Amino acid sequence: MQADRRRLNPPAGGTAPPIFATPPKPTTLSRPKRSRKADEHRKLFLRTGIVPSASGSAYYEIPPQQPQDHQPSESTLVPQRSSLKITCTVHGPRPLPRNAQFSPNLLLSTHVKYAPFATRNRRGYVRDSSERDLGAHLDTALRGVIIGERWPKSGVEVVITVLEGEEDGWWGDEASRQEGGWGMMGVLAGCITVASAALVDAGIDCVDVISGGVAAVVQDVEQKGERQLVLDPCPAEHEKLRAACVVGYLQSRDELTECWIKGDAGVEVESLVDEAVKAASLSRTVFVEAIKESVQMKIQKKEVEDVNSRAKDGKGTKRDVEMTG
């Protein structure tokens, strides 16, 4: 009997369906508490040049914060806090197609996409409205930074993939999962920072490096219901987020290229924007150190290549010339 090559045959042995451990009920675990101060930013990691085939690339990560009162008995398969992992690649500048219209400036194209496994609710392979909104806000933030007059008839593409995105709230709180939208604010701040790092790695001239920052107005029971301004909020650590603000900040020029406010900030709008600017300034310090480290690595690599080329040239050819009278 011949096997049908056009059909996917089942395995020879029997298989059993996978069994997933059910997470504990929300009542067995308490909501994670914010151990940081209100004006303290989470630790972040940034590195450039992770994709050699691209003109420029960068990787941005905010690892999950381990609670101080964490006990082994409370460990579960579902993390209480979400982390943020973003990659960015820059392709270009490259010439436009011949059938394209003449453009005196550099044409910028931004593309933001969540990986299917980035959030607890599986994402689709086609971009949804939230991803298109993130791409539009990122495009606005970067247009005020790039010096487009130096690349006429050219285009550059910024592609961002969110490997792990922040959740909109604590996994044990049903109400926070229904509201939605708060996790996008932190994702946009990370996208602005990592995109700027990738542009610098690609060697594209900019008026200044841009960093993203986010701040929020929260209202927790421990604060007796009082509204409080916090930097770099983690939605899982707060019961109610009343408003949030994301900015794209140019520190040397003291300018904002992007400002997105979500929620009802009331009379605290100006203070909320100021706190978001502080968060962007703190992110800039890590950004600058990552750029310095990348430049030093490139200089060392160039020096090693020059030494190797000189040694090879000295082996293969003779530079000594005898002079005869």
- State the pLDDT at residue 294: 87
Above pLDDT 70, what percent of the chain? Answer: 78
Q: Tell me what the mean pLDDT of segment 97-105 comes to.
A: 87
pTM: 0.82
Q: What is the DSSP-derived secondary structure letter of residue 146?
A: B
Q: Residue 315 pLDDT > 90, yes or no?
A: no
Tokens of 233: 């909020």
Q: Is the backbone peptide bond immediately before 93 cis, with ω within 30 degrees of 0?
A: yes
Cβ-contact 277, 213 below 8 angstroms: yes
Closest CA to 175 of 22, 31, 24: 31
Q: How many CA atoms lie within 13 A of 75 on its CB side?
A: 4
Residue 279 CA to residue 36 CA, distance in Å, equals 14
Give Cα 136 to chain centroid, integer Å: 15
Closest CA to 218 of 185, 189, 192, 187: 185
Residue 246 CA to residue 208 CA, distance in Å, equals 18
Closest CA to 252 of 284, 275, 292: 284
Residue 251 CA to residue 193 CA, distance in Å, equals 13
Tokens of 58: 């960068």
- State the pLDDT at residue 221: 64
- State the pLDDT at residue 45: 92
- State the pLDDT at residue 121: 81
Q: Tell me what the mean pLDDT of segment 19-33 comes to.
A: 63
Query: pLDDT digit string (tens) for 233-253?
Result: 888 888 888 899 999 999 999
How many C-beta atoms surround the C-beta of residue 92 within 10 A? Answer: 20
Q: Residue 3 pLDDT > 60, yes or no?
A: no
* Lowest-pLDDT range of 36-40, 81-85, 315-319: 315-319
**Residue 79: burial class (beta carbons within 10 Å; 0-12, 13-18, 19+):** middle
- State the pLDDT at residue 325: 47
Between 169 and 154, the more confident residue is 154
Residue 58 CA to residue 195 CA, distance in Å, equals 7
Between 62 and 11, the more confident residue is 62
Cβ-contact 137, 158 below 8 angstroms: no
Query: What is the average pLDDT score of the chain?
Result: 82
Q: Residue 139 pLDDT > 90, yes or no?
A: yes
Residue 164 CA to residue 218 CA, distance in Å, equals 24
Query: pLDDT digit string (tens) for 52-80?
Result: 999 999 999 998 766 554 444 445 555 66
Between 184 and 221, the more confident residue is 184
Q: Residue 150 pLDDT > 50, yes or no?
A: yes
Q: Which domains does the chain have, with CATH numbers?
A: 45-64+80-169+179-303 (3.30.230.70)
